[in-house]
Amino acid sequence: MRLLWRLASRLTANLIMTHGPVQPGAVYLSFDDGPDPKYTERLIALLAEHNAKASFFLIAELAAAAPDLVARILSSGHSIGNHSMSHPAMYRLGFTAQWQQIDQGDTVLQGLDPGHQHAFRPPNGRITWAALLNTLLRRRPMVMWSIDSLDYKLDAEAVVKRLRSRPPTGGDIILFHDDGECALLALQVLLPEWKLAGLRFLPLECAG
């Protein structure tokens, strides 16, 4: 039993990605819950202004409704990942329903970004055994994060303060959301500061 537990722990450690490749000054901005017609376009423009690339973990039903916006994300050099079909509380669903959420999301993203296997990020950051098994059998990582901006519950000023108190370093994956204005306002302040500190912003290749 102890050997099986160690094996399971090792497998899940290899599956769950909390940091990107450690390169000098490289950090990885990631955005959940889009694409949003009101905010994602503005965010893409801000990232372009600072030569920053990012990874967008898309709710597939929203992506299917805004294919031109997804194309804009991709043509701007960003990567995309699977954030489920409709962003349910996965832990409340049965095993089969969870797999359907992930696999239906994959199907949509393949149609929008063919030829890539898209990493999965669970809704609300809640990891389930069903999602882990799906990730293992599909041979792709589950991408989490090392820094949570908390932009889903703080205002922009508080997010700036939080991230100044814990500046990102090489390999950090930072969680933001692009379904509201908070990340946009916070990054208007933070991106110039981070660039002056020598940071550069890369997409996660596994997310697209």
Residue whose C-alpha is closest to residue 175's, from 207, 197, 198: 207
In angstroms, rounded to a whole number, what is the distance separating the alpha carbons of residues 80 and 143?
A: 12
How remote is the C-alpha of 93 from its chain's centroid?
22
CA proximity to 189, closest of 85, 46, 84: 46
For the chain, the residue count is: 208
Is 118 a residue of the active site? no
Q: What is the DSSP letter of 21?
A: -
The backbone torsions φ and ψ at residue 120, rounded to the nearest 5 degrees and listed phi first, read -110, 140
Q: Is 142 helix (H, G, I), strand (E, B) or coil?
A: strand
Q: What share of the chain is helix, strand, coil (3-state, %, to 5)?
A: 50, 15, 35
Selecting among 32, 33, 106, 172, the annotated active-site residue is: 32
At 176 the three-state DSSP class reads strand
Catalytic-role residue among 151, 172, 177, 178:
177
Which backbone phi and psi does 55 adopt, to 5 degrees? -120, 130
Q: Is 87 a catalytic residue?
A: no
Catalogue the active-site residues.
Answer: 32, 177
